[in-house]
Structure 1
Protein backbone atom coordinates (compact mmCIF):
# COMPACT_ATOMS: atom_id res chain seq x y z
CA UNK A 1 0.00 0.00 0.00
CA UNK A 2 1.25 3.46 -0.92
CA UNK A 3 0.12 6.45 1.10
CA UNK A 4 0.86 9.93 -0.21
CA UNK A 5 1.56 12.18 2.77
CA UNK A 6 1.19 15.92 2.26
CA UNK A 7 0.81 18.92 4.52
CA UNK A 8 0.54 22.68 4.60
CA UNK A 9 -0.98 23.31 1.19
CA UNK A 10 -2.29 26.68 2.43
CA UNK A 11 -4.78 26.77 -0.41
CA UNK A 12 -2.29 25.86 -3.16
CA UNK A 13 -2.47 22.47 -4.82
CA UNK A 14 0.68 22.34 -6.91
CA UNK A 15 0.34 20.57 -10.26
CA UNK A 16 3.28 18.30 -9.33
CA UNK A 17 1.10 16.68 -6.65
CA UNK A 18 -1.59 15.54 -9.08
CA UNK A 19 0.34 12.66 -10.74
CA UNK A 20 1.40 11.46 -7.29
CA UNK A 21 -2.19 11.56 -6.04
CA UNK A 22 -3.36 9.54 -9.05
CA UNK A 23 -1.12 6.62 -8.06
CA UNK A 24 -1.76 6.70 -4.30
CA UNK A 25 -3.77 4.05 -2.48
CA UNK A 26 -4.58 6.57 0.24
CA UNK A 27 -3.82 10.26 0.79
CA UNK A 28 -3.00 11.73 4.20
CA UNK A 29 -3.13 15.53 4.60
CA UNK A 30 -1.60 16.75 7.86
CA UNK A 31 -3.48 20.04 7.97
CA UNK A 32 -3.38 23.67 6.95
CA UNK A 33 -5.39 22.76 3.88
CA UNK A 34 -6.27 26.42 3.36
CA UNK A 35 -9.14 26.01 0.87
CA UNK A 36 -11.72 23.25 0.56
CA UNK A 37 -11.01 23.14 -3.18
CA UNK A 38 -7.64 21.54 -2.42
CA UNK A 39 -9.40 18.42 -1.12
CA UNK A 40 -12.01 18.61 -3.91
CA UNK A 41 -9.27 18.74 -6.54
CA UNK A 42 -7.48 15.76 -4.98
CA UNK A 43 -10.75 13.81 -5.03
CA UNK A 44 -11.23 14.75 -8.69
CA UNK A 45 -7.93 13.17 -9.77
CA UNK A 46 -7.64 10.26 -7.34
CA UNK A 47 -10.03 7.50 -6.29
CA UNK A 48 -7.95 7.07 -3.11
CA UNK A 49 -9.55 7.81 0.24
CA UNK A 50 -8.36 11.12 1.68
CA UNK A 51 -7.81 11.55 5.41
CA UNK A 52 -7.24 15.19 6.36
CA UNK A 53 -6.90 16.93 9.70
CA UNK A 54 -7.55 20.54 10.64
CA UNK A 55 -4.56 22.82 10.87
CA UNK A 56 -4.27 26.18 12.58
CA UNK A 57 -5.25 28.08 9.39
CA UNK A 58 -8.33 25.93 8.78
CA UNK A 59 -10.66 28.17 10.80
CA UNK A 60 -13.66 28.59 8.47
CA UNK A 61 -16.25 26.07 7.32
CA UNK A 62 -16.04 23.55 5.86
CA UNK A 63 -12.37 23.11 6.85
CA UNK A 64 -13.06 24.03 10.48
CA UNK A 65 -15.08 20.81 10.71
CA UNK A 66 -12.10 18.63 9.83
CA UNK A 67 -11.03 16.48 12.78
CA UNK A 68 -8.01 17.46 14.88
CA UNK A 69 -6.68 13.93 14.60
CA UNK A 70 -7.08 10.89 12.40
CA UNK A 71 -6.19 7.34 13.33
CA UNK A 72 -6.14 4.99 10.36
CA UNK A 73 -4.90 1.44 9.88
CA UNK A 74 -2.81 0.99 6.75
CA UNK A 75 -1.39 -2.39 5.81
CA UNK A 76 -1.37 -3.62 9.40
CA UNK A 77 0.14 -0.41 10.81
CA UNK A 78 -1.72 2.23 12.81
CA UNK A 79 -1.01 5.75 11.55
CA UNK A 80 -1.92 8.79 13.66
CA UNK A 81 -2.20 12.17 11.94
CA UNK A 82 -2.17 15.50 13.81
CA UNK A 83 -1.17 18.90 12.46
CA UNK A 84 1.12 20.12 15.24
CA UNK A 85 3.35 17.53 16.89
CA UNK A 86 3.67 19.79 19.95
CA UNK A 87 0.01 19.08 20.70
CA UNK A 88 0.40 15.29 20.62
CA UNK A 89 -2.23 14.00 23.04
CA UNK A 90 -1.20 10.37 23.47
CA UNK A 91 1.79 8.10 23.89
CA UNK A 92 2.18 6.36 20.52
CA UNK A 93 3.98 3.33 21.95
CA UNK A 94 1.21 2.71 24.49
CA UNK A 95 -1.49 3.22 21.84
CA UNK A 96 0.09 0.73 19.41
CA UNK A 97 0.76 3.40 16.80
CA UNK A 98 3.52 2.73 14.28
CA UNK A 99 3.63 6.11 12.52
CA UNK A 100 2.87 9.64 13.70
CA UNK A 101 2.36 12.14 10.86
CA UNK A 102 2.43 15.88 11.50
CA UNK A 103 2.95 19.11 9.61
CA UNK A 104 2.93 22.73 10.80
CA UNK A 105 6.67 23.49 10.68
CA UNK A 106 6.98 23.21 6.87
CA UNK A 107 10.31 21.44 7.48
CA UNK A 108 10.62 17.81 6.38
CA UNK A 109 11.64 15.59 9.25
CA UNK A 110 11.89 11.84 9.74
CA UNK A 111 12.95 10.15 12.94
CA UNK A 112 12.28 6.99 14.87
CA UNK A 113 11.69 6.99 18.61
CA UNK A 114 11.05 3.83 20.60
CA UNK A 115 10.04 2.00 17.44
CA UNK A 116 7.59 4.70 16.29
CA UNK A 117 8.22 6.61 13.06
CA UNK A 118 7.63 10.36 13.32
CA UNK A 119 7.14 11.92 9.90
CA UNK A 120 6.70 15.52 8.91
CA UNK A 121 6.54 15.42 5.10
CA UNK A 122 7.28 19.13 4.78
CA UNK A 123 5.00 21.56 2.96
CA UNK A 124 3.67 21.44 -0.59
CA UNK A 125 1.98 24.85 -0.54
CA UNK A 126 3.59 28.26 -0.94
CA UNK A 127 7.31 28.17 -0.24
CA UNK A 128 8.31 29.35 3.21
CA UNK A 129 11.76 30.62 3.99
CA UNK A 130 14.38 28.46 2.27
CA UNK A 131 12.65 25.19 3.02
CA UNK A 132 12.11 22.70 0.20
CA UNK A 133 8.67 21.99 -1.22
CA UNK A 134 8.29 18.40 -0.10
CA UNK A 135 5.97 15.50 0.64
CA UNK A 136 6.48 11.79 1.28
CA UNK A 137 5.33 8.30 0.46
CA UNK A 138 4.59 5.72 3.12
CA UNK A 139 5.04 2.20 1.75
CA UNK A 140 3.12 -0.02 4.16
CA UNK A 141 2.56 -3.74 4.07
CA UNK A 142 2.76 -6.77 6.28
CA UNK A 143 3.07 -4.58 9.34
CA UNK A 144 6.19 -2.80 8.07
CA UNK A 145 6.71 0.79 6.92
CA UNK A 146 9.18 2.41 4.59
CA UNK A 147 9.24 6.20 4.19
CA UNK A 148 10.25 7.72 0.87
CA UNK A 149 10.77 11.50 1.07
CA UNK A 150 9.90 13.42 -2.10
CA UNK A 151 11.39 16.86 -2.81
CA UNK A 152 9.46 18.74 -5.48
CA UNK A 153 11.54 21.94 -5.38
CA UNK A 154 14.67 22.91 -3.52
Structure 2
Protein backbone atom coordinates (compact mmCIF):
# COMPACT_ATOMS: atom_id res chain seq x y z
CA UNK A 1 0.00 0.00 0.00
CA UNK A 2 1.27 3.48 -0.88
CA UNK A 3 0.85 6.06 1.89
CA UNK A 4 0.62 9.74 0.93
CA UNK A 5 2.00 12.36 3.30
CA UNK A 6 1.03 15.94 2.44
CA UNK A 7 3.70 18.51 3.29
CA UNK A 8 2.99 22.17 3.92
CA UNK A 9 4.89 24.98 5.58
CA UNK A 10 4.98 28.70 6.18
CA UNK A 11 1.26 29.33 5.81
CA UNK A 12 1.60 32.49 7.93
CA UNK A 13 -2.11 32.48 8.78
CA UNK A 14 -3.33 31.79 5.22
CA UNK A 15 -4.76 28.38 4.35
CA UNK A 16 -5.38 28.65 0.62
CA UNK A 17 -8.16 26.58 -1.01
CA UNK A 18 -5.51 25.37 -3.49
CA UNK A 19 -3.47 23.98 -0.58
CA UNK A 20 -6.50 22.25 0.90
CA UNK A 21 -7.31 20.68 -2.46
CA UNK A 22 -3.72 19.51 -2.93
CA UNK A 23 -3.63 17.94 0.55
CA UNK A 24 -7.01 16.21 0.17
CA UNK A 25 -6.50 12.45 0.01
CA UNK A 26 -3.38 12.48 2.20
CA UNK A 27 -3.11 9.77 4.84
CA UNK A 28 -1.08 12.17 7.01
CA UNK A 29 -0.21 15.88 6.86
CA UNK A 30 2.98 17.49 8.10
CA UNK A 31 3.15 21.26 8.75
CA UNK A 32 6.75 22.43 9.10
CA UNK A 33 6.03 25.60 11.06
CA UNK A 34 5.19 29.30 10.78
CA UNK A 35 1.54 28.39 11.06
CA UNK A 36 0.68 31.70 12.80
CA UNK A 37 -3.00 30.87 13.43
CA UNK A 38 -4.38 27.80 15.27
CA UNK A 39 -7.33 27.60 12.84
CA UNK A 40 -4.84 26.50 10.16
CA UNK A 41 -4.19 23.28 12.09
CA UNK A 42 -7.88 22.59 12.68
CA UNK A 43 -8.54 23.11 8.96
CA UNK A 44 -5.81 20.61 8.07
CA UNK A 45 -6.95 18.19 10.76
CA UNK A 46 -10.30 17.95 8.96
CA UNK A 47 -8.41 16.26 6.09
CA UNK A 48 -6.00 13.89 7.88
CA UNK A 49 -4.01 13.50 11.10
CA UNK A 50 -1.55 16.41 11.42
CA UNK A 51 1.98 16.55 12.80
CA UNK A 52 3.12 20.16 13.20
CA UNK A 53 6.14 21.94 14.64
CA UNK A 54 6.51 25.47 15.97
CA UNK A 55 8.19 27.99 13.68
CA UNK A 56 9.93 31.23 14.60
CA UNK A 57 6.72 33.20 13.93
CA UNK A 58 4.42 30.93 15.97
CA UNK A 59 3.62 32.70 19.23
CA UNK A 60 1.03 32.52 21.95
CA UNK A 61 -0.36 29.80 24.21
CA UNK A 62 -1.53 27.61 21.30
CA UNK A 63 1.98 27.65 19.77
CA UNK A 64 3.66 26.80 23.08
CA UNK A 65 1.92 23.42 22.87
CA UNK A 66 3.87 22.65 19.68
CA UNK A 67 7.35 21.20 19.88
CA UNK A 68 10.26 22.56 17.84
CA UNK A 69 10.87 19.11 16.35
CA UNK A 70 8.77 15.99 15.90
CA UNK A 71 9.32 12.55 14.43
CA UNK A 72 6.63 10.30 13.01
CA UNK A 73 6.61 6.83 11.54
CA UNK A 74 4.75 6.29 8.28
CA UNK A 75 4.80 2.67 7.23
CA UNK A 76 8.43 1.64 7.46
CA UNK A 77 9.80 5.19 7.13
CA UNK A 78 10.65 7.62 9.94
CA UNK A 79 10.17 11.31 9.15
CA UNK A 80 11.72 14.07 11.26
CA UNK A 81 10.19 17.56 11.12
CA UNK A 82 11.90 20.82 12.11
CA UNK A 83 11.09 24.36 10.97
CA UNK A 84 14.66 25.58 10.41
CA UNK A 85 17.39 23.13 9.38
CA UNK A 86 19.82 25.21 11.48
CA UNK A 87 17.96 23.87 14.55
CA UNK A 88 18.47 20.22 13.58
CA UNK A 89 20.03 18.67 16.69
CA UNK A 90 19.63 14.95 16.16
CA UNK A 91 21.97 12.32 14.73
CA UNK A 92 19.73 11.40 11.82
CA UNK A 93 21.44 8.13 10.90
CA UNK A 94 21.53 6.66 14.39
CA UNK A 95 17.92 7.74 14.96
CA UNK A 96 16.88 5.85 11.82
CA UNK A 97 15.54 8.97 10.10
CA UNK A 98 14.87 8.51 6.37
CA UNK A 99 13.25 11.92 5.64
CA UNK A 100 13.74 15.41 7.08
CA UNK A 101 10.97 17.93 6.41
CA UNK A 102 11.70 21.61 7.05
CA UNK A 103 10.39 25.04 6.16
CA UNK A 104 11.61 28.54 7.03
CA UNK A 105 13.39 29.46 3.77
CA UNK A 106 10.17 29.53 1.70
CA UNK A 107 12.21 27.85 -1.06
CA UNK A 108 10.85 24.48 -2.27
CA UNK A 109 13.66 21.97 -2.38
CA UNK A 110 14.28 18.22 -2.51
CA UNK A 111 17.73 16.76 -1.95
CA UNK A 112 19.07 13.38 -0.90
CA UNK A 113 22.18 13.40 1.31
CA UNK A 114 23.79 10.21 2.59
CA UNK A 115 20.59 8.23 2.11
CA UNK A 116 18.41 10.83 3.87
CA UNK A 117 15.81 12.74 1.87
CA UNK A 118 15.56 16.45 2.76
CA UNK A 119 12.32 18.13 1.67
CA UNK A 120 11.26 21.74 2.03
CA UNK A 121 7.74 22.13 0.61
CA UNK A 122 8.22 25.89 0.29
CA UNK A 123 5.63 28.40 1.44
CA UNK A 124 1.91 27.80 0.96
CA UNK A 125 1.01 31.16 2.56
CA UNK A 126 1.35 34.72 1.30
CA UNK A 127 3.72 35.02 -1.66
CA UNK A 128 7.13 36.40 -0.73
CA UNK A 129 9.41 38.00 -3.26
CA UNK A 130 9.41 35.89 -6.45
CA UNK A 131 9.28 32.55 -4.64
CA UNK A 132 6.55 30.11 -5.70
CA UNK A 133 3.54 29.29 -3.56
CA UNK A 134 3.98 25.55 -3.12
CA UNK A 135 3.37 22.37 -1.14
CA UNK A 136 4.77 18.87 -1.46
CA UNK A 137 3.99 15.22 -0.94
CA UNK A 138 5.80 12.08 0.09
CA UNK A 139 4.77 8.72 -1.29
CA UNK A 140 5.81 5.94 1.07
CA UNK A 141 5.74 2.28 0.06
CA UNK A 142 7.54 -0.03 2.45
CA UNK A 143 11.01 1.44 2.92
CA UNK A 144 10.81 3.37 -0.35
CA UNK A 145 9.93 7.06 -0.32
CA UNK A 146 9.66 9.62 -3.11
CA UNK A 147 8.97 13.34 -2.89
CA UNK A 148 7.32 15.77 -5.27
CA UNK A 149 6.81 19.54 -5.05
CA UNK A 150 3.74 21.17 -6.57
CA UNK A 151 3.27 24.88 -7.26
CA UNK A 152 -0.18 25.87 -6.07
CA UNK A 153 -0.45 29.12 -8.04
CA UNK A 154 0.87 30.07 -11.47
Q: Please give the range of the TM-score, normalised by the shorter of the 2 chains.
A: over 0.9
Q: Map 1:82-101 onto structure 2 (within 5 A).
A: 82-101=82-101
> SS state of the match for residue 41, structure 1?
helix
Which residue in the other structure is 2:50 paired with? 50
- Structure 2 residue aligned with 1:63: 63
How does 1:2-151 map onto structure 2 within 5 Å? 2-44=4-46, 46=47, 48-151=48-151
Secondary structure in 2 aligned to 1:145?
A: strand
1:17 aligns to what SS in structure 2?
helix
Q: Any unmatched runs of 5+ in structure 1?
A: none
Normalised TM-score (structure 2): 0.95
| CA-to-aligned-CA distance 1:37-70 (integer Å, 9 cap, x gap) | 11111223x1x11000000011112022211111
The Cα shift of 1:137 comes to: 0.6
Distance in 1, matches of 2:19 and 2:109, equals: 19
Q: Which runs of 5+ in 2 are unaligned?
A: none
What is the TM-score normalised by the length of structure 1? Answer: 0.95
Give how far 1:19 is off: 1.8
